[in-house]
């Protein structure tokens, strides 16, 4: 399997009190968490699943 770098930008939402994915190269990547570390853990799981589902969009 080919490895590819994906850009993910996370931002802090002051009102909601969470970190969230603000921008991403991967269509459909949506996540939020109370810490950057927890958000990164969620992103790693979601990226794997979304790459499989959206492979046709990434070629």
pLDDT attached to residue 3 = 78
Query: Distance (Å, rounded) from C-alpha 18 to C-alpha 54?
Result: 27
> Domain spans of the chain?
8-58
pLDDT computed for residue 58 by the predictor: 60
Q: What is the pLDDT of residues 32-55, one digit of tens each?
A: 999 999 999 999 999 989 888 877
Q: Smallest Cα–Cα separation from 36: which of 4, 9, 7?
A: 9
**pTM for the whole structure:** 0.81
Nearest to 53 by CA among 30, 27, 25: 27
- Per residue in 8-28, pLDDT (tens digit) is 999 999 999 999 999 998 888
5: pLDDT strictly greater than 90: no
Q: Could you tell me which of 52, 58, 25, 22 has the C-alpha nearest to residue 39?
A: 22
User: Is 8:25 a contact under the CB 8 Å cutoff?
Assistant: yes
Contact between 41 and 32 under an 8 Å Cβ cutoff? The reply is no
Fold classified for 8-58:
TTHA1013/TTHA0281-like (3.30.2390)
């Amino acid at each position: 399997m080919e490895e590819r770098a994906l850009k993910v930008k996370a931002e802090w939402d002051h009102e909601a009190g969470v970190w969230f994915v603000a921008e991403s190269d991967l269509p459909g990547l949506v996540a939020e968490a109370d810490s950057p570390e927890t958000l990164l853990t969620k992103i790693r799981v979601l990226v794997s699943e979304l790459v499989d589902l959206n492979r046709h969009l990434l070629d």
